[in-house]
C-alpha cells in the first residue's frame, strides 16, 4: 500500500502531538508533508527534524524567521501566513489533512482542504459550528471525505451503519447519545461557581487538552458545540441528539436504533484511539494506548445534565434551534468570553451570561456565504467584548 501523505494543521497542539505520536509508530504508512504551528516554534522545529516535512508554516513573519534559523541545515521550507496554511492544506501531493488548529482560525485552511477534495480528519469542531452548512457543501462539492476526530463523533461514526447515507431515519437510528464527563465542576456546590479559578477550570478530570477546550468542558459549552457538530456531521435534528453525563469517560458515545439496540464505542480516554481510527480508516492500526480492562475500570455511571449547572449547554440547543448564524454567534462570543475568563477579567458564571447576551442581540441573523459568516463572527466578538467591558 502506498504511504499516505499528511498535512497536520496545528501540529504543535495536543491533537497534533498525539497525531504525530501515532504516525511515528507507522513510518511505512504515513509521510508528513507539512506541519503548522503558531507560537511554539521550538516544538515545531523539533517535529520538523523528526518528520522531515517539505513545509513548515507559522502565522507571522517574525516566527518564520526564527523557525528558518532553527531549521537552517534542513530541507524543510518555512512559510508563513493564512494563505500558506490554505496552500499546505490543499497541496496536490497531500491526500490527508489533520485539521487541528483551535478556534475560528482553523476555518479557512480546513475549507481549503474540503475544496481540494482531501480526506479531512476533523478535530476543529469550530469549523462546523461556525459554518456548518457552508462547510458541508464544500465537502460535497469538493468530493472530500470527512472523518471525525472528536472522540464522541468518532464513536458515533464507529457505531453507525456503513456506508452512512446521511439520513438517520433510513438506517433506523432513533437517537445519537453524546456522552460528556461533566468536567471538574459536576458536583461542586452551585453557589461557589462564582469563585472558580482558571486553574481549576482547565484541570480536566479525564482528558489532557488545550486550555480553551478545557474551559469549554467545564462549562459544557464543549458538549454544546458537539451537539451542533453532530447535527452537521450526521444530519441529525436537535431532538435526535441527546447528551448524557458519564463521568468515567469510557463510553465515548452511543447510537440508539429503532429496535431498542444501543451501540457504544468504549476505550480509555486517549485521543490516539480516534486519531488512529481516522488515520487508518477503514483499516485498524495500533495506537499505543492501554488496553481497556472492564474488570478493572470500576462502575460506569450515567446521569442527565442539569441545565442550571450547565447553562451553556442549553444555549447551544437554543442556537441550533434558531439556525442561521446563531451557532456562529455562540462560537465567537464563547471564544471571547473564555479568553476573558482565562485572563481573570470575568468570573466563571459570566461566560454563560456573555453568550446569552450575544444570542439575544444577534441570534436572528441569517447564515450567508463565507464573508457574511466572518462578518457576523467579528460582530459577535465585538458584542461580547463590549458586554464584558461594561460589566
Which residues, other chains included, contact 233 with Cβ-Cβ below 8 Å and sequence gap of 6+? 128, 146, 148, 153, 156, 157
Pick 218 or 346: Cβ nearer Mg ion: 218
10 Å CB burial of residue 111 (0-12, 13-18, 19+) is buried
Neighbours of 261 (CB within 10 A): 11
By beta-carbon distance, which residue lies closest to ligand NDP? 13
By the rule CB under 5 A, 216 interacts with Mg ion: no
Q: How far is CA 29 from the centre of its chain?
A: 25
| Beta-bridge partner residues of 236 | none
Pick 89 or 365: Cβ nearer ligand NDP: 89
Selection from ligand NDP, Mg ion, none that 101 binds (CB < 5 to 8 A by kind) is: ligand NDP
Asked if residue 131 lies in contact with residue 373, where contact means CB atoms within 8 angstroms, the answer is: yes
Selection from Mg ion, ligand NDP, none that 231 binds (CB < 5 to 8 A by kind) is: none
Selection from ligand NDP, Mg ion, none that 86 binds (CB < 5 to 8 A by kind) is: none
Pick 53 or 274: Cβ nearer Mg ion: 274
Selection from Mg ion, ligand NDP, none that 349 binds (CB < 5 to 8 A by kind) is: none
Asked if residue 179 lies in contact with residue 244, where contact means CB atoms within 8 angstroms, the answer is: yes
Supply the minimum distance, in Å, between the C-beta of residue 294 and Mg ion.
Answer: 22
Selection from Mg ion, ligand NDP, none that 74 binds (CB < 5 to 8 A by kind) is: none
Supply the minimum distance, in Å, between the C-beta of residue 169 and ligand NDP.
Answer: 28
By the rule CB under 5 A, 150 interacts with Mg ion: yes
Q: Regarding beta strands 262-266 and 55-58, do their DSSP bridges make them parallel or antiparallel, or are they unpaired?
A: unpaired
Pick 226 or 379: Cβ nearer ligand NDP: 226
Supply the minimum distance, in Å, between the C-beta of residue 79 and ligand NDP.
Answer: 12
Supply the minimum distance, in Å, between the C-beta of residue 175 and Mg ion.
Answer: 18
Selection from ligand NDP, Mg ion, none that 126 binds (CB < 5 to 8 A by kind) is: ligand NDP
Q: CA-based angle 234:209:266, to the nearest 5?
A: 50
Q: What is the DSSP track for 46-84?
A: HHHHHH--SEEEESSHHHHHHHHHHTTTSSPEEEESHHH
Supply the minimum distance, in Å, between the C-beta of residue 321 and Mg ion.
Answer: 21
- Which alpha helices (DSSP H) does 116-265 contain, by range? 125-142, 151-159, 198-202, 211-219, 221-234
Pick 53 or 148: Cβ nearer Mg ion: 148
Supply the minimum distance, in Å, between the C-beta of residue 209 and Mg ion.
Answer: 9
SS3 call for 146: strand
10 Å CB burial of residue 18 (0-12, 13-18, 19+) is buried
Selection from ligand NDP, Mg ion, none that 13 binds (CB < 5 to 8 A by kind) is: ligand NDP
- Rg, C-alpha atoms of the chain: 20
Sheet holding 96-99, edge to edge: 77-80, 55-58, 30-36, 4-9, 96-99, 119-122, 145-148
4's grid cell: 499516505
- Name the segment binding Mg ion (CB under 5 A); options: 65-73, 144-152, 303-311, 372-380: 144-152
Separation of alpha carbons 130 and 132, rounded Å: 6
Residue 138, preceding peptide bond in cis (omega within 30° of 0): no
Pick 152 or 377: Cβ nearer Mg ion: 152
Pick 124 or 354: Cβ nearer ligand NDP: 124
By beta-carbon distance, which residue lies closest to Mg ion? 150
Supply the minimum distance, in Å, between the C-beta of residue 88 and ligand NDP.
Answer: 12
Supply the minimum distance, in Å, between the C-beta of residue 304 and Mg ion.
Answer: 19
Q: CA-based angle 219:221:225, to the nearest 5?
A: 165
Supply the minimum distance, in Å, between the C-beta of residue 276 and ligand NDP.
Answer: 14
What is the binding site for ligand NDP (CB under 6 A)?
Answer: 10-16, 37-40, 59, 100-102, 105, 123-126, 150, 207, 209-210, 213, 271
Selection from ligand NDP, Mg ion, none that 125 binds (CB < 5 to 8 A by kind) is: ligand NDP
Asked if residue 31 lies in contact with residue 3, where contact means CB atoms within 8 angstroms, the answer is: yes
Pick 117 or 210: Cβ nearer ligand NDP: 210
Pick 217 or 354: Cβ nearer ligand NDP: 217
Supply the minimum distance, in Å, between the C-beta of residue 86 and ligand NDP.
Answer: 11
67's grid cell: 523557525
Separation of alpha carbons 33 and 53, rounded Å: 4
Residues that bind Mg ion (CB under 5 A): 150-152
Amino acid at each position: 500500500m502506498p504511504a499516505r501523505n499528511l498535512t497536520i494543521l496545528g501540529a504543535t497542539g495536543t491533537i497534533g502531538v498525539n497525531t504525530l505520536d501515532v504516525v511515528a509508530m507507522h513510518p511505512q504508512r504515513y509521510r508528513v508533508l507539512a506541519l503548522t504551528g503558531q507560537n511554539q516554534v521550538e516544538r515545531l522545529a523539533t517535529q520538523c527534524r523528526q518528520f522531515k516535512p517539505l513545509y513548515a508554516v507559522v502565522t507571522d513573519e517574525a516566527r518564520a524567521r526564527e523557525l528558518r534559523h532553527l531549521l537552517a541545515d534542513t530541507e524543510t521550507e518555512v512559510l508563513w501566513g493564512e494563505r500558506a496554511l490554505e496552500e499546505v492544506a490543499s497541496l496536490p501531493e497531500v491526500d490527508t489533512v489533520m485539521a487541528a488548529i483551535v478556534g475560528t482560525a482553523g476555518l479557512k485552511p480546513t475549507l481549503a482542504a474540503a475544496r481540494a477534495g482531501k480526506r479531512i480528519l476533523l478535530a476543529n469542531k469550530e469549523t462546523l459550528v461556525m459554518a456548518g452548512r457552508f462547510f458541508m457543501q464544500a465537502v460535497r462539492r469538493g468530493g472530500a471525505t470527512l472523518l471525525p476526530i472528536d472522540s464522541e463523533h468518532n464513536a458515533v461514526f464507529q457505531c453507525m451503519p456503513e456506508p452512512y447515507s446521511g439520513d438517520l431515519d433510513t438506517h433506523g437510528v432513533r437517537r445519537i447519545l453524546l456522552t460528556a464527563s461533566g468536567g471538574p465542576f459536576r458536583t461542586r456546590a452551585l453557589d461557589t461557581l462564582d469563585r472558580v479559578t482558571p486553574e481549576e477550570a482547565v484541570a480536566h478530570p479525564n482528558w489532557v487538552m488545550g486550555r480553551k477546550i478545557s474551559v469549554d468542558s467545564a462549562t459544557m459549552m464543549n458538549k454544546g458545540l458537539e451537539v451542533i457538530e453532530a447535527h452537521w456531521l450526521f444530519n441529525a435534528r436537535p431532538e435526535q441528539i441527546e447528551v448524557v453525563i458519564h463521568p468515567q469517560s469510557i463510553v465515548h458515545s452511543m447510537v440508539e436504533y429503532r429496535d431498542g439496540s444501543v451501540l457504544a464505542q468504549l476505550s480509555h480516554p486517549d485521543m490516539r484511539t480516534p486519531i488512529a481510527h481516522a488515520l487508518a480508516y477503514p483499516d485498524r492500526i495500533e495506537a499505543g494506548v492501554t488496553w481497556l480492562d472492564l474488570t478493572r475500570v470500576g462502575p460506569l455511571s450515567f446521569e442527565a445534565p442539569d441545565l442550571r449547572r450547565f447553562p451553556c449547554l442549553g444555549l447551544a440547543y437554543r442556537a441550533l434551534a434558531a439556525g442561521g448564524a446563531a451557532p456562529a454567534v455562540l462560537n465567537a462570543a464563547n471564544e471571547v468570553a473564555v479568553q476573558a475568563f482565562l485572563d481573570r477579567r470575568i468570573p466563571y458564571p459570566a461566560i454563560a451570561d456573555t453568550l446569552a447576551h450575544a444570542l439575544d442581540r444577534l441570534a436572528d441573523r441569517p447564515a450567508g456565504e463565507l464573508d457574511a459568516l466572518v462578518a457576523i463572527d467579528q460582530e459577535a466578538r465585538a458584542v461580547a467584548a463590549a458586554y464584558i467591558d461594561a460589566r
